Structures are given as structure tokens and as C-alpha cells.
């Protein structure tokens, strides 16, 4: 639908009152404004200001959720403070991340990192998930420290390190001392992910070192389906590291 500037005020007013019931049609005008904002910097700034104000307001969860969805597309540094302030709220945290995770600006990453330091439980795991998706190299030390946290958090931290996959991340995973259980499995998965990333970057020797270590450990593991899958990953990884024509 084409954007009509005259409808923006009334649409934002309708959004403020929206609570998963009633007429959602006015929201379509905001959708159209987001599309039009791509070629209209003034409209983009106006729209972002209104949406960020909505996130910071006492509007309904549904209204704030909608605003976060739009900020995921057009948000800039302007909306980071409003979004960051919602990261600790159990109702709004995910949708604030929904916007921040996709905003490729340093301020968004920093907001997520700081939330790792201040939050606990599932909300903190959410931050790790978003930093993993961003492959945020500045989060390695935070993630490494959380390998010693509760099991659920440690699994998420290991997963994040596997996605970030820098040499520092691989080192943190290799030196974690977890003998068995879900955290140990997550660490192995993450080490393999690091080795694959090294392979993709042409760091064959570093990749091979990791794969060989995992193959040796897997050789001693019980013959479960999981252990066999890990052995396959490690051994095929060794072959790929030895032969640049090989692939999984």
C-alpha cells in the first residue's frame, strides 16, 4: 500500500492503543512508511523517533513489540538507548533484541554486551544468542567466563564461542574443563565449529589440530550415535584439512 504522510499521526495513535485486539488496519500505514523511509531520510528519522518513543513509553506489550519489529529494519543509534533499556524486562527483552541483533552498528553490540554483564538466566542466554548471531568478536572473554556458569548458560556460551570462532574463542573452548554432560557436548560442537571456520579461512594447520584432538577424545567415548557423529565430524575435518580438494 502506498504511504500517505497524512495518516502517520493517526496510525501512531492507533498503535499506542493496540493490544492484540481491535482494528490493526492503521498499522499497515506504518508498514508503508517504513518502506517509503528507505528513500526519505527525513521520514526515516521522524519514524524512528516515534517508534523509539513508543518502546520507551508505557504502551502495551503489543504496541512495543510492533515498534521493535519496525526498528529491526530502520533502527539507528537513535533508538539504541530505548531498546537497551528494555533488555532486562522479561516481557520486552526478546523484541528489543529482535531489533538490536539486526542493527549492524557498534552501539547495538555494546548494548547487548553490557546486558550480558547485568542479566542472569534466560534473558542473559538471549543476549548470548544475539551476540552469537552477530559473531561479535568482542564478546569472547564474556562468553568464556560463562563456560563455568550454570549448565544452561554454559551451553549457550559455548554455542556463541563456536559461532564467533576466533582463535581466542577456540582457545577458551579448548581450555575449559568439563568432563561430561550437555556442557561438554556443547563445547565439542563449538570446537568443531571453530575448526570448520578455520578451514574456511584457510588456517588448515590450526583446524587440523582441533580436529585431531577431538578425534582422539571421541575414540575413547562410548559408541553412541552422538559419539559416532562427532567422530565423523572430526575425521572428515582432518581429511579436509589435509587435502584442499576434500570437503564434507
Partner 1 sequence: MPVLPTRRAFLTASSTVAAATVAAPYIITSKALGDGVTPPASDRIVMGGIGLGNQGSSDQGRFLKHPDVQYVAVSDVRTTWRESARDRVDAAYGSKGCAAYLDFRDLLARDDIDAVHIATPDHWHAIMTIAACRAGKDIYLQKPETLTLREGPLMLEAARRYGRVVSGGSQRVLEDYRDIVDPCWSGELGRITSIDIDAGASSMPCYLPAMDAPADIDWDLWLGPAPWEPYNPGRCDGNFGTAGNSWRSYIDYSGGRLTDWGAHNFGGLVFAAGLLDHQPSSVVWHPADGSHAAYATLVYPNGVEVHCDRPEALRPSGTAATVSHGRGITIRGDGQAAAPRSVPSYRGRDGIYGDFIECVKTRQRPFRDLEGAINTLTAPHMLGLVRRLERSLEWDRATQQFVNDDEANRLLDRARREPWML
8 Å CB contact between 69 and 95:
yes
Report the distance separating Cα 183 and Cα 215, nearest Å.
18
Residue among 128, 161, 164, 169 that touches partner 1 (CB under 8 A): 128
> Contacts with partner 1 in 152-171 (CB under 8 A)?
152, 156, 159-160, 163
Single out the segment in contact with partner 1 by CB under 8 A; choices: 125-133, 136-144, 166-174, 212-220.
Answer: 125-133
Nearer to partner 1 by C-beta: 172 or 218?
A: 218
Smallest distance, Å, CB 97 to partner 1? 4
Report the distance separating Cα 235 and Cα 237, nearest Å.
5
Report the distance separating Cα 11 and Cα 87, nearest Å.
26
> Contacts with partner 1 in 105-124 (CB under 8 A)?
122-123
Report the distance separating Cα 186 and Cα 55, nearest Å.
35
Residue among 50, 93, 109, 214 that touches partner 1 (CB under 8 A): 93
Burial bucket for residue 119 (CB in 10 Å: 0-12, 13-18, 19+): middle
> Contacts with partner 1 in 24-63 (CB under 8 A)?
24, 27, 35, 38
DSSP string, 128-177: HHHHHHTT-GGGHHHHHHGGGS-HHHHHHHHHHHHHH--HHHHHHHHT--
Burial bucket for residue 117 (CB in 10 Å: 0-12, 13-18, 19+): exposed
Question: Per-residue string for binding with partner 1, 65-84, x by CB under 8 A?
Answer: x------xxx----------
Report the distance separating Cα 92 and Cα 87, nearest Å.
7
- Joined together, the cell numbers standing for residue 111 give 548494548
Residue among 48, 136, 196, 206 that touches partner 1 (CB under 8 A): 196
Smallest distance, Å, CB 189 to partner 1? 6
Q: Does 64 bind partner 1 (CB under 8 A)?
A: no
Single out the segment in contact with partner 1 by CB under 8 A; choices: 9-17, 50-58, 142-150, 221-229.
Answer: 221-229
Residue count at the site for partner 1 (CB under 8 A)?
Answer: 52
Positions in the binding site for partner 1 (CB under 8 A): 20-21, 24, 27, 35, 38, 65, 72-74, 91, 93-95, 97-98, 100-104, 122-123, 125-126, 128-130, 132-133, 152, 156, 159-160, 163, 185, 189, 192, 196, 224-230, 232-233, 236-237, 247-248
Amino acid at each position: 500500500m502506498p504511504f500517505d504522510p497524512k495518516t502517520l499521526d493517526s496510525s501512531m495513535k492507533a498503535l499506542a492503543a493496540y493490544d492484540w485486539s481491535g482494528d490493526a488496519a492503521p498499522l499497515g500505514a506504518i508498514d508503508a512508511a517504513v518502506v517509503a523511509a528507505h528513500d526519505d531520510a527525513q521520514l526515516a528519522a521522524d519514524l524512528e523517533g516515534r517508534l523509539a518513543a513508543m518502546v520507551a513509553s508505557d504502551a502495551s506489550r503489543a504496541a512495543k513489540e510492533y515498534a521493535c519489529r519496525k526498528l529491526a529494519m530502520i533502527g539507528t543509534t537513535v533508538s539504541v538507548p530505548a531498546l537497551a533499556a528494555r533488555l532486562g524486562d522479561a516481557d520486552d527483552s526478546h523484541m528489543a533484541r529482535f531489533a538490536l541483533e539486526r542493527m549492524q552498528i557498534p552501539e547495538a553490540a555494546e548494548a547487548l554486551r553490557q546486558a550480558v554483564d547485568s542479566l542472569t538466566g534466560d534473558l542473559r542466554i538471549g543476549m548470548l544468542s544475539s551476540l552469537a548471531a552477530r559473531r561479535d568478536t568482542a564478546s569472547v572473554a564474556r562468553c568464556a567466563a560463562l563456560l563455568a556458569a550454570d549448565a544452561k548458560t554454559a551451553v549457550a556460551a559455548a554455542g556463541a564461542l563456536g559461532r564467533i570462532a576466533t582463535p581466542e574463542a577456540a582457545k577458551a573452548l579448548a581450555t575449559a574443563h568439563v568432563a561430561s554432560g550437555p556442557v561438554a557436548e556443547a563445547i565439542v560442537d563449538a570446537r568443531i565449529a571453530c575448526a570448520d571456520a578455520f578451514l574456511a579461512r584457510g588456517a588448515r594447520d590450526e583446524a587440523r589440530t582441533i580436529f585431531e584432538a577431538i578425534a582422539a577424545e571421541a575414540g575413547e567415548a562410548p559408541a553412541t550415535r552422538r559419539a559416532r557423529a562427532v567422530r565423523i565430524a572430526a575425521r572428515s575435518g582432518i581429511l579436509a584439512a589435509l587435502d584442499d580438494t576434500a570437503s564434507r
